Amino acid sequence: MPATRPVRSYVIRSGRITGGQRRALERHSEKYVVRFEPGPLAIERLFPSEQPLTVEIGFGSGESLLQMAREQPGTNFLGIDVYQPGAGRVLQGIVEHGLGNIRLICHDAVEVFRDNLAEESIDRVLILFPDPWPRKRHHKRRLVRDGFMQLVLSRLKPGGEVHLATDWPPYLESMMAVMDAIPGFRNRFGEGCWEDPARPITRFELRGRRLGHEVRDLLYCKAPS
């Protein structure tokens, strides 16, 4: 029988890649892009210095990832996305600003968490504006679902945090239902949202606000064992 195809939380976008982004991928991927291979990653060998680790899932065009890395030099950032123009843009920014605290993996985040990241190795996970997959028959594609968030929980250090954001109210409700049902997570703000989130404004967020969408953030932490 043929193998069951995995359910992906994304589709690979065929956005136009510029010449500069293509050159950045060709010239700098070896240093800054981690090739996916099943097996544990030695995170401490990826970065020049050992620092708290933030993992951003779905960095998109990369502006917010670059801004955070510039503003937080004492934190290492691992960005996960399959969007090649975005990866090229981030590589351009890394070189332009001389950033040593960013590495990228251009692969499915579920497999990266499952196969590459060790238990209790991450300080913070960012999932900002994931695809809401609004049609009911596509809800199984949503990234924030029980199985994956249980996996994320296992990779967080005690006290580690998950920062979520969306501009789709039904997905906000779904996110809260998923996170509140996992005993190891605790909402930093009781039963509510994070009203003044500490993060850059993303290009996606600006587009949503222009359309009148209400952006909401959530912050959950891993309860100490």
Options 131, 180, 196, 217, the catalytic residue: 131
Amino acid at 147: G
User: Could you confirm whether 131 is annotated as catalytic?
Assistant: yes
How far is Cα 168 from Cα 165, in angstroms, rounded to an integer?
A: 9
How far is Cα 54 from Cα 21, in angstroms, rounded to an integer?
A: 24
Which residue in the block uniquely carries the two structure tokens 């892009």? Answer: 33
Q: Residue 203: which residues within 8 A CB-CB, separation 6 or more?
A: 60, 61, 63
How far is Cα 160 from Cα 162, in angstroms, rounded to an integer?
A: 7
Residues tagged active-site: 131
